[in-house]
């Protein structure tokens, strides 16, 4: 799958080629707002970060002035450190993209749009559901499917994929096309739709029919060629039980039918 920096590189190229017409839509999906602060408020911990999650050095105001020959006057109204930290923009990224910034104003334009996204209000509540894929093998009594709180599923094919999260508490479905990371931050969703009572019943019926309590924790077929489909599936129930399943080149016998039902609802 394309990593975060590669997606940002693509985003910058699109911005420079078409003037940022799709900045808001593409920026929210690809770059994510996972580090933006609730209600647009800054956090000192964000401003003080000097490295991204991988340990690479984040760009600074001084670095941008020296590298792109912008002046302090050009960028003084932008919260460079906060924006750089929120979007994980490293020195290496800017050096790699330097040839795409023909004028200092190009860099300023990027920060203007990033800061606009950085300060947009974001929804309150839980946004990260990646923990649904990280539970160890469950050996206890399987919960009643009617008590499910959250469900997440992702399919990965080559560099792309698709994913969704169903919030049964709030009756919403969050769906993301082309990349499989909506579970990391539901604010990246291409589409958010209401989960109707009929659709809820269809999901619960499909879950019961799938007999997930008989699934293995992992289905890995190392003999399958590279590029085969990977998948993740996770659920949380009202009693706090979390069930995680995954596979590569193989699935539980009932998974394809369950996947078709749930992904079909997500795409409505």
pLDDT of residue 121: 53
Cα gap 227→159, rounded to integer Å:
9
β-bridge pairing 242-248 and 218-220: parallel
CA 105 – CA 125 distance, rounded (Å): 37
Q: Say how far apart CA 193 and CA 173 lie, in whole Å.
A: 5
Does residue 38 register a pLDDT over 60? no
Residue with tokens 């792109």: 68
Record the pTM: 0.56
Q: List, for residues 248-267, the tens digit of each pLDDT value.
A: 888 899 998 998 888 787 65
**What is the full DSSP assignment across 206-235?**
HHHHHTGGG--SEEE-TTSPTT--EEEEEE
Low-confidence winner among 8-17, 82-91, 111-120, 201-210 (lowest mean pLDDT):
8-17
Please say whether the beta carbons of 26 and 2 come within 8 A. Answer: no
pLDDT digits (tens, 9 = 90+) for 152-195: 998 877 666 788 899 999 999 988 766 557 888 887 787 888 99
């Amino acid at each position: 799958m394309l990593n975060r920096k590669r997606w940002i590189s693509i985003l910058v190229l699109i911005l420079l080629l078409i003037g940022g017409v799709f900045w808001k839509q593409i920026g929210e999906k690809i770059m994510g707002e996972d580090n933006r602060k609730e209600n647009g408020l800054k956090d000192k911990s964000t401003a003080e970060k000097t490295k991204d999650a991988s340990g690479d050095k984040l760009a600074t105001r001084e670095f941008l002035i020296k590298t792109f020959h912008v002046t302090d006057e050009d960028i003084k109204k932008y919260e460079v450190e906060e924006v750089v930290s929120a979007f994980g923009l490293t020195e290496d990224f800017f050096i790699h993209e330097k040839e795409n910034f023909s004028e200092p104003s190009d860099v300023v334009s990027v920060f203007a749009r990033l800061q606009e996204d950085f300060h947009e209000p974001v929804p309150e509540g839980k946004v990260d559901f990646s923990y649904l894929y990280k539970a160890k093998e469950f050996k206890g009594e399987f919960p009643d499917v009617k008590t499910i709180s959250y469900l997440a599923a992702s399919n990965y094919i080559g560099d792309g994929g698709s994913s969704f999260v169903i919030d049964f508490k709030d009756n919403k479905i969050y769906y993301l096309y082309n990349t499989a990371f909506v579970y990391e931050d539901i604010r990246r969703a291409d589409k958010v739709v209401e989960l109707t009572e009929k659709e809820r019943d269809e999901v619960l019926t499909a879950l019961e029919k799938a007999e997930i309590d008989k699934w293995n924790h992992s289905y890995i077929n190392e003999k399958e060629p590279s590029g085969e489909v990977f998948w993740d599936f996770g659920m949380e129930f009202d009693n706090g039980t979390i069930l995680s399943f995954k596979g590569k080149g193989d699935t539980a016998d009932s998974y394809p039918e369950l996947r078709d039902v749930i992904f079909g609802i997500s795409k409505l």
